[in-house]
């Protein structure tokens, strides 16, 4: 379950940049740019397969596609993700968030006490509600991929 739970939490502080969080670009795919620590590179094959696998379905279902690639920041631990979001005291189930045209998430290699590798990789969005967006505004993939990934 990635991002579904934290979409409801307001962000008091802008997330830290990938560079200031010790992340570096590790992979670029057709639709995504992944940033992570060297220790999380081994999870990128599965993340790429999951994100790219949902991309066509989500954009087809919504009838819209983003104009560019979506950045995905993968943090090495739940606490590193919380710190980057500016909310170090968030609950352990909070492992991902989508905002500002980016996806921020905890590494599936260190998913914390409430998740496992598969729950992070599969992006189970069934516990969240669909986002709303104005058709005249630019659509970003993060508005839907985490919400619609497992719906319907």
pLDDT in tens, 76-131: 999 999 999 999 999 998 898 887 778 899 999 998 898 888 888 875 333 333 33
Which are the contacts of 27, defined by CB distance < 8 A and separation ≥ 6?
33, 34, 41, 44, 48
Note whether 78 and 111 are within 8 A (CB). yes
By three-state DSSP, how is residue 21 classified? Answer: helix
pLDDT class of 8 with cuts at 50, 70, 90: very low
Whole-structure pTM over 0.85, yes or no?
A: no
Give the end-to-end CA distance of the chain in Å, rounded to a whole number. 16
Rounded Cα–Cα distance for residues 81 and 124 (Å): 19
């Amino acid at each position: 379950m990635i991002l579904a739970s934290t979409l409801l939490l307001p962000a008091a502080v802008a997330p830290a940049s990938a560079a200031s969080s010790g992340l570096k670009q590790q992979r670029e795919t057709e639709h995504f740019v992944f940033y992570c620590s060297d220790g999380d590179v081994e999870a990128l094959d599965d993340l790429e397969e999951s994100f790219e696998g949902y991309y066509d379905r989500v954009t087809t279902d919504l009838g819209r596609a983003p104009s560019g690639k979506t950045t995905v920041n993968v943090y090495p631990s739940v606490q590193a993700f919380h710190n980057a979001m500016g909310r170090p005291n968030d609950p352990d189930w909070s492992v991902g968030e989508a905002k500002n045209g980016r996806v921020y998430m905890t590494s599936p290699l260190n998913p914390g006490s409430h998740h496992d590798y598969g729950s992070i990789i599969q992006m189970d969005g069934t516990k969240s509600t669909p986002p709303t967006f104005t058709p005249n505004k630019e659509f970003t993939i993060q508005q839907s991929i985490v919400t619609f990934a497992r719906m319907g």
